Structure 1
């Protein structure tokens, strides 16, 4: 499979030096008979100007069919990662989430590679074929790569891959399903440079779409400091109504549901990886009481926070 730094270079608009990249997380796995995938998380320097980027790579080797593959690559920013993995740091002990130097912005790079033996099952038996049929059946005889826009549906599929709760067999089923969705959206984009059609007319304005995307980043940055819709709308300079409607359309979820999901994923990390108590996590995430936190956690994960600590 190709090296992942190429999608990073495109998203950054200039090449990275090897010593610039600090790896926070590195997952490489295969779903039997389906997809080989990797998810890498890098520490993001505040000075880097990164753009969320997608790419489809089609590799065709006439004289060596075993080397044929189709690969999807994505580079997304805006997620927050706690750099202190092994033990509770002083910032956590002091509840200093605003000034914590260990909680950093990150860059997620995802890669999904498919072999012809898996992709040919999707090709229909019609005589009239388009470029998607040729690619999936590997009858297109020229290698190519194509940049892909990251629409709201694609972002939600990527979000699911980064934040799911499945393991073992169920994880394989989930990964397989999500990657098929990403494959569908990517091939649909490849058929033509069609602009995404929004129900909310104001989203036709690129500046307004950027404000909605910025709102998502602000929510993640304030994971332990809940914001009201009014406060969030002021931070990104957009009308409250536009913010709520635009967020739902672009990301497929409400602001509240998205924020709760992010908080609970961070809570799982603090409880399971860092070993903090339920009381400490409740305070760090800005809950007024432990019972409110426990109720929200169980609603999101299906278990109580104390049950996670026992695993």
Structure 2
């Protein structure tokens, strides 16, 4: 992206990707339901293949500048071990980028844990009403679409780190309200707000990396970054379910150990423990964003790490 998009538009361009994702989340399920009865599953697969080929074909008409020849020759002189470790070596060279990576690593842990519980929490507290869950998920998709559209028009904060930290903080505030809520309306409003903030987090983060890492090494650095940042995602999802089922749910039953303390906040009975666990994980995510603002190495990353076109 950095080879074809001006630096000041990185956040806008990345937000457009979020528009595509959230649009698909809103319209694809409904479209699939209509097409399934109209043309059948086999023709849906054929249609999917055609749209995939159209998407790939669009790349043929886009001119993407290639790395300069001296950069390519330099890469060819590297051995396989140097190529494999290049991403890690680059990250360790810049503590500010490592600080972002550690922040994302921690945020993804709590984010994946809370996301693993949101659907279960809503179903448990709505009497397994799939219509309520669908409504909340629709509100979430619309919120993400609106947020991404606003960001693509506005362009985001001048200091991208504010977009990252505020995005994480506001998203978790929305999730906390969702966990505390006990009705369809508050769940939908909270889900909309949480999803609205999500594109600000992702687009601002990507804009920072695109402006700091040279285009000819972005592939390896970004692959390393993604691998490390996502390590905690499955861990959060794995621990959330057993923790909610075996500790929080029993503790929040009418005679449970935590019912007397938190029963007035979350209620008691089925789903109260899951809602409490979901809210707790979201509170941890909010705390990370607040802590991030107190750390100069993270808060000032755009000043301490030079842009690739100025280094």
Higher strand share: 1
Specify if TM > 0.5: no
> Which of structures 1 and 2 has the bigger CA Rg?
2
What TM-score, normalized by structure 1, do the two folds share?
0.27
Query: Which protein has greater RCO, CA pairs closer than 8 Å, 6+ apart?
Result: 2
Higher helix share: 2
